[in-house]
Amino acid sequence: MSKNLILVESPAKGKTIEKYLGSDFKVLATYGHVRDLISKTGAVSPDQGFTMNYEISEDSEKQLRKISTAVKLAKTLYLATDLDREGEAIAWHVQEILKERNLLTDKEVHRVVFNAVTKRAVQDSINSPRTVSDSLVNAYKARRALDHLFGFHLSPLMWEKIGPKLSAGRVQSPALRLIVEREDEISAFKPREYWTIGAITEYEGDVFRARLSKYDGEKTEQFSFTDEETVKKVEETIQLVANGILSVGKVEKKQRQRKPTAPFITSTLQQEASRKLGFSARQTMSTAQKLYEGIDGSMEGLITYMRTDSVTLATEAITEIRSLIQDRYGLENLPAEPRLYQTKTQNAQEAHEAIRPTSVFKTPKELKGKLDENQYKLYELIWKRTVASQMSNAIFDTVGLDIFPGENTDGTIAFRATGQVLIKPGFISVYQEGMDDKVHDEKDRILPPLKEGDRLNLSELSSEQHFTEPPPRYSEATLVKTLEKCGIGRPSTYASIISTLRNRDYVELENKRFMPTELGKVVSRFLSGNFTQYVDYEFTAKMEDDLDAVSRGENDWVPLLKDFWVPFHAQIEHIRDTVTRDDQARSLGDDPKTGRPMTVRMARFGPVIQIGTKDDEEKPLFAGLRPGQKMDTITREEALALFKLPRELGETPDGETVSASIGRFGPYVRYGNKFVSIKDDDPYTIALPRALELIEEKKIFDANRIIQDFSDAGIQVLNGRYGPYVTNKQKNAKIPKDKDPSKLTLAECEELIAAAPERRGRGKSKKKSGTKKKKKRTKKASNKKQISTDNE
């Protein structure tokens, strides 16, 4: 019997921890959260002091029974869940459940945390236990209550005012607003023309370009030259003054140093893994989790805990890193004193370290054969960043040249050339931070060794036309960076925020950049227009700060909830009474044929044009928008064109009418009572010859697929993906191997169908007993209803 029971979140590190602590310790996993708020309105009761009603999932109950059995046999319980706010909450939930079951009487209960799965870290944590932090638990409860109240009360209102299956989240919605507002900026952007002028010259075989920096005594700015005619006049003047010669004026030489960046925190790891490795935030965190826990259960953790806001490194880690730098890169790359980094985040949570290797002597090369490709790439990134953070500065020699046309050195016309040379790589020899958007920088070039008074030949004047560009759409890296800057959410929640927006079809990725969908725009504008305060960036950031204050024990969580709930609930009731679904539609004027109003709105299956209203005697007409059409830019003429379907194209050779249209499952061509999908063709432009070609292809396909057709009985013998079968459209029946499908009689087919099981609808599962079914439904309810509560 083990005297000590240790509970962790993941079973992956269990064997390793048991090995570190010996036979007196048994390790079990909670497998994450063991209970959560019930998945329906009423889980949080504002009228009863914001009491919270929890439920235990079926899977968690199975694990809790194992934990309960082990607790009965143990003398001491160590709650070793992760060292963040969520980990504290799991520890509290387990402790409360075991108390309710009277299993902790005469037991010692300790809370222990370690930021790395190493022997030293685990043993140190066991030797310095504490109790579960009430402040951290209160912050967790406040956050869950806020998210639940926001999502479970606002989402149903959106179903009523916009459409079904929509969701809003306290942190998800401001993040969506960021993406929608950026798209609005891009749509409203008007490019401006500007020109740059340069002189191409050469010195001892080295050709370089100097940009025009002064003209007519004035410093040139971006919009100094905005048309080609002006540029030509400027070039003529310079050519006249230069007469083929340039004079070197002042030569400025400086030495510049660049410091290494701090070791990774959660947000910077997500950004850099996106820039350099192409990882999503979720992929980065799941890969880091495996590196933290150890690979294959046989290795100790390879990195420290990956959910952290702190850039500090432990003293022993710095000592080890400096030793490696001296051995591998030499004393010239080792600063005289260790580098100490200051955490910029206001509330660096739970006193973690930065993300670093548990030992830098475990080099990426040494581990390559033990890690999969993604694990290796991420470990190498963390290892390099950590080592570089303690290395010497990179040193550059920079040069700046003023160059004048001809003998005119009074400065009324001047060119400027800059360059630099890396003379001591320092940390750059190991690691250099990536960039969000690549830009060409002439400073990185090497200039020839010129001195004041040197003469150069003017080879030519080079002018280039440019146009200003709209702000770029957010990538994963820049979105994470902006979320952090605005104080929206916390680094540990960024991956789930992004995943939620994509899963709800509010945004999509195009060339690794986020674009709002039409649905996302409608949702964001509804929230921005009617719940402005609650999707405001400053409000969201202040709420995060208030929650952090609760976690530090500075504020009480119940007044925080009350201050949020009272005005929020009042606003929901106000919008319910004053805003209609028609308010979300955009008017396009009247239909010229009928005089009925035309609107563009969001419907159940996407954006549509509607002619008429539900109150008219004649039913409204609907047409879906075509790919590429936008709800906020489509014109009345473009909308009217959508009602030209179905289009009659002509006839087949045997006289059947051929038409093109769009149905529930996409565009199609119809001939007689048969349909042919036209996924790669446009129903608005397809012509009869192409339609006949598709019809013929379908006939050939069907001929190869249909073995026998008992059309009067509605039964067919078909070639299917898994072999021949019999179907009557309601049931499918396998054909015995000893039967020839082409020789089956109608009677035999009817017998096979009668004996076949009923077809299961897509996505349906077999029914379970009432209790199990109820529990499973409860667990999945938030997914089915698509209500996001930003479970941070």
| Three-class secondary structure assignment of 346-380 | CCCHHHCCCECECCCCCCHHHHHHHCCHHHHHHHH
pLDDT for res 379: 97
Task: Give one word for 64, left, alpha or beta, with left for phi > 0 and alpha for psi -120 to 50.
Answer: alpha
* 3-class DSSP assignment, residue 386: helix
Mean pLDDT score, 36-42 = 86
Looking at CATH, the fold of the domain delimited by 4-132 is given as: Rossmann fold (3.40.50)
- Percent of the chain at pLDDT > 70 equals 93
What pLDDT, in 10s, does the model give residues 51-76? 999 999 899 999 999 999 999 999 99
Looking at residue 245, its pLDDT comes to 94
Mean per-residue pLDDT for 87-115? 95
Domains of the chain by residue range:
4-132, 142-189+473-578, 200-259+394-467, 266-388, 585-644
User: Do residues 83 and 350 make contact, with C-beta atoms less than 8 angstroms apart?
Assistant: yes
Distance, C-alpha 481 to centroid of its chain: 12
Question: What pLDDT is stored for residue 437 in this prediction?
Answer: 59
| E strand or H helix at 658 | strand 657-663
Q: What are phi and psi of 744, to 5 degrees?
A: -65, 140
Question: Which pLDDT does position 445 carry in this prediction?
Answer: 80
Fold of the domain built from segment(s) 142-189+473-578:
Topoisomerase I; domain 2 (1.10.460)
539 CB contacts (<8 Å, ≥6 apart)?
533
Residue type for 596, please?
A: R
Positions marked active-site = 305
- Judge whether 590 and 602 are in contact, CB under 8 Å: no
User: Which pLDDT tens digit goes with each residue over 627-656?
Assistant: 788 888 899 998 998 888 888 999 999 899
Model-level pTM? 0.79
Interval 461-473: pLDDT, tens? 999 999 999 999 9
Whether the link from the prior residue into 646 is cis, omega within 30° of 0, is: yes
> DSSP character for 691?
H
Is the confidence at residue 138, as pLDDT, over 50?
yes
Q: Give me the amino acid identity at 652.
A: T
What pLDDT was estimated at residue 783? 36
- The CATH T-level fold of domain 200-259+394-467 is Topoisomerase I; domain 3 (2.70.20)
CATH class of the domain comprising 266-388: mainly alpha
